[in-house]
Chains A and B, each alone.
Chain A
Amino acid sequence: MNVYLYATCLSDMLNRQIQKSAKTLLEKAGLKVHVLAGATCCGQPAYNAGHRSAAKKVAMQQLSIFKEDWPIILPSASCAAMMKYHYTKLFEDEKDTFEQVLKLKRKVYEWSAFYQSLSPALIDKGAAIKVFCHPSCHGIREMQQHQVAFSLLDSLEHVQLLHLPHEHECCGFGGTFSIKHSSISTAMADRKIDELSKLITSHGLSRLVGADYSCLMHLQGRMQRLGINIEVQHLACFLEQRL
């Protein structure tokens, strides 16, 4: 089976390991993976900030690159949600483009959900470890698939998945929100980090994973600033290391 992997701009720019791991794992599960050439960004940063024409300009570019009718897999729930649920709103008045948008919508999948649907062999070769998996808001409330990451991790023999009292609460990233309202955004991160710190001292939590790199980048940046040293990894990278 052929699939497209949409790398996402954040992975392209800041952490290329994510797309590498996402690709490797899909290949191990027997797929032929084509990293989409010409993919840049889904347009979400501009869309969420209200700059619709900029968002459209970039989104248009994405619409034009899918030559084959293959599933499109994104290692980020928020970018997947953008293409699956928000392109229809962004292009609602564009009758020439709308059909293309609908076609794309049907083919978009979030990476962890797609990966799990392949029933991959999850033979854990890693050492015993306690992890927390941050469910992103887009994973919970838009793609509605955040349980998938939990269940993937739960099936690993040596991984103990820990939970937080307010784990469904937003980490505070929110794109331009994290810049425009830096102090609120940081306070939200701190709430999450407080709970994480408790798990570190009381339960020996040693890694933070998640299926959305944007949240992880935000939390990691804040933890580094606070001097809390715990490894942060995208779910795909974590899984690839252990399988």
Chain B
Amino acid sequence: MEKTFTKNVKQALNNPVLRANYRKALDALAEKRKTAFADISLELPARREAAYALRLNSLHKLPELLSQLEQKLNENGIHVHWAQTPQEANQIAESILRQNNAKKIIKGKSMITEEIRLNDYLEEHGFNVIESDLGEFIVQLAGEKPAHIVAPIIYKNKEQVAKLFAEKLNFHGSSAEELTHAARQFLRKEFYSADAGLSGVNFAVAQTGTLCLVENEGNGRFCTTIPPLHIAFMSLEKVVEKFSDVPLLYSMLCRSASGQKITVYFNMISKPRQKDEKDGPQHVHLIILDNNRSTILSDPLLRKTLLCIRCGACMNNCPVYTNIGGHAYDAAIPGPIGKILMPQIAGMEKYGHLATASSLCAACVEVCPVKIPITDILLKLRAQATSLKNLSFKQRLYSGKLAEKIAFMLWAYIFSSPLRYKLFLKMLHAFPALIPLKVRFTPMLRQWTKTRDFPMPR
């Protein structure tokens, strides 16, 4: 997997248009976030602290909140399903769709469905899935994957979108308004003819059994009100205790994600259509996914990964993400949060290398609205990854892990003794010219001199 990452990185770094697209869009997002907090800049530390405490409290009480949520939802007529694995979640969705005879599915934006690769699964099983969020719609048209959790098409510029629309929709236009209008026209028909609507959940309120959905385009509301069947997906940490917990988190989410004080739409879903109501789905289901999260919860530091409210601010401000872009991570969730979440939900073997791809600059930690100690978690994952325990001899050798361990043991041997250290310095300064040379020829250190000179000791 590390190989794929290296390859992706190389490709991205050699693509100036892509990098310019990212730079421009991310600068704008980072700037928006900054101005969004201008009116409360003095309160910001206190609000972040409050949001952090509130989320952590929910995590502490997770089992009871989840059972309260389930009970409330059941009372309200929403069916709750539990899935341990992505596979299970997909199968549950499939069987609900089949029971309801649903073939055509319209979908709102949801990161968890990316995590379980729901679209691929459903399409393989004969369903027709249409993304209705503008960005996701474009991604789907292009046959690609979202590159950002809030702004899926951040990697494309307007011209590229116009070209895609001309090719795929036979629509010729160039301004953002024209293109949006074209997508809207196309989607409008689909909303009315879809058999089921799918959505994610931003916050699930245990006390009232309310599923909150944050969006800007109104497509989420369409998906969750027009088709006769609504299936919502959430990972289990999305639950919060009380309704009064929501405003703070909602405000932190909007300001951090898009620089808005509030979004255009805020949906609260609590029941299927009632007898005297004219609209709304007849059936509502909620699928709650674990995917290793209950294991993550048992570690006091790693647990904090699950505080995340998916605002994307960490990626908007990340110099690695800005340079390599979202696709390079080859992960449902890219960027700093992806680096700590993916190895934990999808395995160190697959994503462990992401934890090393950070300079630990902590720009993400600085902006995260719920104060996730991303760098500390990276360090913990790195520490776990240095263990050679479960590796075969071959793996130890070829992964470079053994060599690295030996190098650091040697380093510690010298640097833990003032005497050895002094001797080492003496040698170094006696033959200063040897150092840049040594750096050049040592396999690991050669990575430095590939692109940079090494200073002459003086």
Q: Are B448 and A182 in contact (CB under 8 A)?
A: yes
In-complex Cβ contact of A47 among B379, B418, B421 (8 A):
B379
> Are A220 and B455 interface neighbours, CB within 8 A?
yes
In the complex, the answer to whether B376 meets A188 with C-beta atoms within 8 Å is: no
The residue that B453 contacts in the complex, of A142, A172, A224, with Cβ under 8 A, is: A224
Main SS of chain A's interface residues?
helix
Cβ-closest chain B residue relative to A172: B359
Min CB–CB distance B302 → chain A (angstroms)? 14
The answer to whether B458 touches A178 (Cβ under 8 A) is: no
Is B448 a contact partner of A174 (Cβ separation < 8 A)?
Answer: no
Of A43, A55, A177, A182, the contact of B451 (CB 8 Å cutoff): A182
Indicate if the CB atoms of A185 and B457 lie closer than 8 Å.
no
CB <8 Å contact, A169 and B319: yes
Residue among B6, B363, B384, B455 with max Cβ neighbours from chain A (10 Å): B455
Task: Give Cα distance in the complex from A177 to B323, angstroms.
Answer: 15
Contact of A50 among B386, B452, B457 (CB under 8 A): B386
Residue pair B448, A221 in contact (C-beta under 8 Å): yes
**Separation of A238 and B123 alpha carbons in the complex (Å):** 64
Please state if A187 and B379 are interface contacts (CB–CB under 8 Å).
no
CB distance from A93 to the nearest CB of B (A): 12
- Which residues of A (113-160) have their CB < 8 Å from a CB of B? 137, 141-142
Which B residues touch A48, using CB under 8 A?
360, 379, 382
Once the chains bind, are A177 and B417 in contact (CB under 8 Å)?
Answer: no
B325 to chain A, nearest CB (A): 11
**Interface pair A50/B379, CB less than 8 Å apart:** yes
**Is A182 touching B450 in the complex (CB atoms < 8 A)?**
yes
- Which residues of chain A have C-beta atoms less than 8 A from B358's C-beta? 174, 177
Q: Which of A12, A188, A191 contacts B425 (CB 8 A)?
A: A12
Tell whether A177 pairs with B357 under 8 Å between CB atoms, given A52-B383, A220-B455, A222-B452: yes
Q: Does A163 touch B at the CB level, under 8 Å?
A: no
| A60 CB-CB contact with B under 8 Å | yes
CB of B390 closer than 8 Å to a CB of A: no
B-side contacts of A9, CB under 8 Å? 415
Interface residues of B in 292-331 (CB under 8 A from A): 319-320, 323-324
Encoded as 1 (CB less than 8 Å from any A CB) or 0, chain B from 416 to 439 comes to 111001000100100000000000
Residue B405 at the A interface, CB < 8 A? yes
Instruction: Name the contact of B416 in the complex, choosing from A60, A137, A181 (C-beta under 8 A).
Output: A60
Contact between B360 and A177 (Cβ–Cβ < 8 Å)? yes
Q: Are A54 and B323 in contact, CB atoms less than 8 angstroms apart?
A: no
- The answer, yes or no, to whether A184 is at the interface (CB within 8 Å) is yes
B262 within 8 A of A: no
Measured between beta carbons, the chain A residues less than 8 angstroms from B385 are 50
With both chains docked as a complex, state the minimum distance between the C-beta of A215 and any C-beta of chain B, in angstroms: 10
Bound complex: CA A77 to CA B43 (Å): 28
- A51-B405, A169-B363, A188-B319 are contacts. A40–B451 as well, Cβ < 8 Å? no
Q: Which of A13-21, A102-110, A199-207 contacts B (4 or more CB under 8 A)?
A: A13-21
What 7 A-B pairs are tightest by C-beta distance, nearest first?
A174-B359, A50-B382, A221-B452, A170-B361, A54-B412, A137-B361, A182-B447
Interface residue ranges, A against B (CB under 8 Å): 9, 12-17, 37-41, 43, 45-55, 57-58, 60-61, 65, 89, 137, 141-142, 168-170, 172-189, 191, 217-218, 220-222, 224-225
A-B contact pairs, 5 of them (CB 8 A): A39-B418, A46-B412, A49-B408, A51-B386, A61-B415
B contact set with A: CB distance below 8 Å: 6, 9-10, 13, 319-320, 323-324, 356-363, 365-366, 376, 379, 381-386, 404-405, 408-409, 411-412, 415-418, 421, 425, 428, 444-445, 447-448, 450-455, 457-458
With A13-B457, A179-B448, A188-B323 known, 6 other A-B pairs at CB within 8 A are A40-B416, A45-B408, A177-B359, A182-B451, A183-B6, A188-B320
